[in-house]
């Protein structure tokens, strides 16, 4: 029970919370006692996640401070600023845990990749990390609160992947940004960490052709894709 409720005083902001890893992270944080501000580009999907979280906050007309859904495009500076304002207005404090899971892929070989596909992926996967990390850190520093910022990168950011120059560059950028933010923000009691998942079975990987999935599965010692909630996907 103690470990279940170790986050009972935490307020967690999760982006990309309407699907896959972001939804699983939201459920885990709520299960350990945190109040969750679940944000997604798709507001209905974020509300669905809040329904799944259970507890009084999951119901319509939830009391102030219970799990709450927010809609925002985290690649847009004004939207991120409004998101942090809305979360603080709703919960009367800044989020002490921030998990940035929002992400997209627009795959294609380098020789044919359009500038638009490059820009979109960098905006959603990397610029959003700058915007959310900065806005959350500013809110924490101005309230003199400690916090933990977790940015989801990918193993692809470390080793590259065919057809994903834009995605690999964005995820490598997340690593550098987060390592630097950790050095700058440690003095304020704010920890910054990045997680590099391997291949996880979510709507994002459902778009990958089966023959590519099969190829990667051969490289996974367990012989299965990961499951977003941490279990094995059989
Ligand atoms: P997912 O199921 O597609 O979830 C991503 C979520 O982010 C979706 O709900 C999506 O909303 C949302 N989103 C997209 N653009 C957004 C924006 N501009 N603002 C706010 N939300 C936005 O993908 P996932 O597999 O859970 O991926 C989560 C994170 O883990 C991503 O950063 C991904 O790169 C990373 N990751 C995934 C894997 C994997 O194998 N699955 C491996 C390594 C890293 P819409 O559905 O409305 O677009």
In a mutational test of the pocket of ligand 1, which residue from 39, 81, 103 has the highest number of ligand atoms less than 8 Å from its CB? 103
Q: Which of 194-203, 209-218, 224-233 reaches the highest mean pLDDT? A: 194-203
For the cut 90, the answer to whether the pLDDT of residue 94 exceeds it is yes
Integer CA distances (angstroms), 65 to 13, 70, 81, 161, in order: 12, 13, 19, 42
Residue 65 reports pLDDT greater than 80: no
Q: What pLDDT does 5 receive? A: 84
Q: Which atom of ligand 1 is nearest to the CA of 74?
A: 19
Q: DSSP secondary structure string, the chain?
A: -TTTTTTTT-EEEEETTTSHHHHHHHHHHHHTT-EEEEEESSHHHHHHHHHHH-SGGGSTTPPTTS-EEEE--TTSHHHHHHHHHHHHHHHSS--SEEEE-------B-GGG--HHHHHHHHIIIIIHHHHHHHHHHHHHHHTT--EEEEEE--THHHH--TTBHHHHHHHHHHHHHHHHHHHHHGGGTEEEEEE----B-SHHHHTS-HHHHHHHHHHSTTSS-B-TTSSB--
Banded model confidence at residue 60, pLDDT cuts 50, 70, 90:
very low
Ligand 1 centroid to residue 101 C-alpha, Å: 6
Burial 63-74 (b: 16+ CB within 10 A, else e): eeebbbbbbbbb
More confident residue, 232 or 74: 74
- Residues 118-135, mean pLDDT to the nearest whole number: 99
User: How many angstroms is it from 93 CA to the middle of ligand 1?
Assistant: 26
Catalytic residue among 95, 167, 177, 185: 167
Q: Is the pLDDT of residue 57 over 60?
A: no
pLDDT for 231: 61
Q: Is the pLDDT of residue 50 over 50?
A: yes
Q: Which positions ≥6 away from 189 have C-beta within 8 Å? A: 145, 146, 147
Calculate what percentage of the chain has a pLDDT beyond 70. Answer: 92
For the stretch 24-45, pLDDT in tens is 999 999 999 999 999 999 999 9
pLDDT at 62 over 50: no
Ligand 1 center to 144 CA (angstroms): 31
Closest ligand 1 atom to 42 CA: 47
Report the residue among 14, 15, 16 best suited for mutation to probe ligand 1: largest number of ligand atoms under 8 A from its CB.
16
Q: What is the pLDDT of residue 230?
A: 83
Show the ligand 1 pocket: residues with CB < 6 angstroms: 15-16, 18-22, 40-42, 45, 73-75, 101-104, 124, 152, 154, 197, 199-200, 202-205
């Amino acid at each position: 029970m103690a470990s279940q409720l170790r986050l009972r005083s935490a307020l967690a902001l999760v982006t990309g919370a309407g699907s896959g890893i972001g939804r699983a992270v939201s459920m885990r944080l709520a299960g350990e006692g945190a109040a969750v501000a679940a944000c997604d580009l798709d507001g209905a999907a974020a509300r669905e996640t809040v329904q799944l979280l259970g507890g009084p906050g999951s119901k319509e007309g939830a009391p102030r401070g219970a799990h709450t859904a927010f809609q925002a495009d985290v690649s847009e500076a004004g939207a991120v600023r409004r998101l942090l304002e809305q979360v603080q207005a709703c919960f009367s404090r800044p989020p002490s845990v921030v998990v940035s899971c929002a992400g997209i892929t627009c795959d294609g070989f380098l020789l044919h990749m359009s500038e638009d596909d490059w820009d979109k992926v960098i905006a959603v996967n990397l610029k959003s990390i700058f915007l959310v990390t900065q806005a959350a850190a500013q809110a924490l520093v101005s309230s003199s609160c400690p916090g933990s910022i977790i940015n989801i990168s990918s193993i692809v950011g470390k080793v590259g992947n065919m057809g994903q120059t834009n995605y690999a560059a964005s995820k490598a950028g997340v690593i550098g940004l987060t390592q630097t933010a950790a050095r700058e923000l440690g003095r304020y009691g704010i920890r910054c960490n990045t997680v590099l998942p391997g291949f996880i079975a979510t709507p994002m990987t459902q778009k990958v052709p089966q023959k590519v999935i099969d190829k990667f599965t051969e490289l996974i010692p367990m012989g299965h894709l990961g499951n977003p909630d941490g279990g094995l996907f059989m």
